[in-house]
């Protein structure tokens, strides 16, 4: 069921700091919490991966992969990162561990890449050993390339089917999202070796072998539901029209034919918000919050948050908590609204804590902990 929850909605509550003397401690409608700074001095961190030994790997959009060991950010970046086009919205983006990482040490990186034919979103697989990447191999490349430097998307998940799902943005060329012969504006499904499964919904249709969905503008958040295993995502919309969706095979999410947003200039994109054969969002924001990163809360520190969906916001500089009843979004609360941080990534750590990355030149890795 679609829900439009605005600032004026009674369900929306804003969390504020408890006091100036308790900076980094906040009160929400359900729990008091504090922010712990794990690491700082990161240049626009984009994604985090949690290693089995308790260390963390963090991507910096500038093209570096950094290691946090025992709560300390190591000065020397991880060696062997592939060549990255760090321009515009491009750079080193998502990082995801192979399901058997502890045995094979494999991980996946998404990033923007440039050649004389333009820029695109790529995915590389590599082996991580001794603070270096080895046997780096490109396993996916969205085609055709384009001269623009925005809307790369890049979020990745591996659900229970064991395949890698990769989001690719429309590259700022919106009509590409409705073309099944174009890799832009879509979610792609590949094997962990980079092949296209025969079961993909458009397999064999004019080369659209990896295409899983279409009509996606710029997915900046993608995560797995802890109970159903479904892939939940959100679209970074234009001026308004940010969406929460569940990713399903062969689904057309409508961009730019239908949208709740408008052009940044204020002119209409389309006069349609519904069309037969195109999915409606579970939830949308108007005005836009510029969402990025998302995770379901599954920890024990805040029982009231169990099963809630957390979404970071760049423009609005906040963390949004969404309450769910199945797929229906029944409540919304704004957190960290006065912290002044652009939240790029949200992740549940194996320690049971919610982790955040801030999109700043002096970016931080943060953890949410109980106030007491």
Assess contact for 346 and 319: CB atoms under 8 A.
yes
323 phi/psi in degrees, rounded to 5: -90, 140
Q: Output the CA–CA distances (angstroms, integers) from residue 252 to 82, 197, 276, in the order listed.
A: 32, 19, 10
Residue 249 gets the label, from left (phi > 0), alpha (psi -120 to 50) or beta, of beta
Nearest of 350, 347, 340, 261 to residue 309 by alpha carbon: 347
Nearest of 332, 339, 281 to residue 7 by alpha carbon: 332
Q: Which of 113, 151, 236, 283 is catalytic?
A: 151
**Chain centre distance of CA 196:** 23
| Beta carbons within 8 Å of 265's beta carbon, 6+ residues apart | none
User: What DSSP state is assigned to residue 101?
Assistant: H
- In angstroms, the CA 222 to CA 329 distance is 17
Active site residue 234: no
- In angstroms, the CA 358 to CA 86 distance is 18
Please list the helix, strand and coil fractions of the chain in percent, rounded to the nearest 5, in that order.
Answer: 5, 45, 50
What would the two tokens of residue 293 be?
């990163």
Catalytic residues: 151
């Amino acid at each position: 069921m679609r829900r439009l929850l605005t600032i004026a909605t009674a369900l929306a509550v804003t969390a504020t700091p408890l006091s100036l003397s308790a900076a980094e401690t906040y009160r929400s409608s359900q729990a008091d919490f504090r922010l712990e700074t794990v690491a700082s001095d990161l240049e626009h961190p984009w994604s985090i991966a949690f290693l089995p030994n308790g260390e963390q790997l963090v991507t910096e959009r500038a093209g570096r992969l950094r290691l946090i060991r025992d709560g300390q950010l190591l000065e020397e970046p991880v060696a062997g990162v592939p060549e990255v086009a760090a321009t515009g919205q491009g750079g080193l983006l998502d990082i995801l561990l192979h399901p058997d990482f502890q045995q094979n040490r494999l991980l996946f990186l998404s990033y923007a890449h440039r050649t004389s034919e333009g820029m695109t979103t790529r995915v590389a697989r590599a082996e991580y050993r001794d603070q270096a990447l080895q046997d780096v191999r490109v396993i996916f490349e969205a085609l055709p390339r384009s001269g623009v430097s925005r809307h790369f998307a890049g979020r990745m998940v591996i659900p229970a089917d064991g395949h890698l799902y990769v989001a690719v943005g429309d590259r700022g060329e919106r009509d590409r999202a409705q073309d099944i012969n174009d890799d832009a504006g879509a979610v792609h499904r590949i094997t962990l070796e980079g092949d296209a499964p025969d079961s993909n919904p458009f397999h064999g249709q004019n080369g659209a072998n990896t295409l899983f969905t279409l009509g996606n503008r710029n997915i900046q958040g993608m995560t797995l539901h802890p109970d159903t295993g479904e892939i939940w995502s959100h679209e970074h919309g234009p001026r308004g029209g940010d969406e929460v969706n569940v990713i399903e095979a062969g689904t057309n999410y409508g961009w730019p034919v239908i949208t709740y947003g408008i052009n940044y200039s204020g002119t209409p994109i389309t006069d349609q918000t519904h069309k037969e054969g195109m999915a409606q969002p579970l939830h949308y924001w108007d005005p836009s919050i510029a969402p990025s990163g998302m995770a379901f809360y599954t920890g024990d520190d805040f029982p009231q948050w169990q099963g809630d969906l957390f979404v970071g916001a760049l423009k609005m500089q906040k963390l949004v908590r969404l309450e769910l009843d199945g797929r229906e979004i029944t409540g919304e609360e704004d957190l960290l609204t006065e912290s002044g941080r652009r939240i790029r990534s949200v992740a549940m750590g194996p320690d049971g804590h919610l982790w955040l990355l801030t999109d700043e030149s002096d970016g931080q890795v943060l953890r949410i902990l109980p106030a007491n």
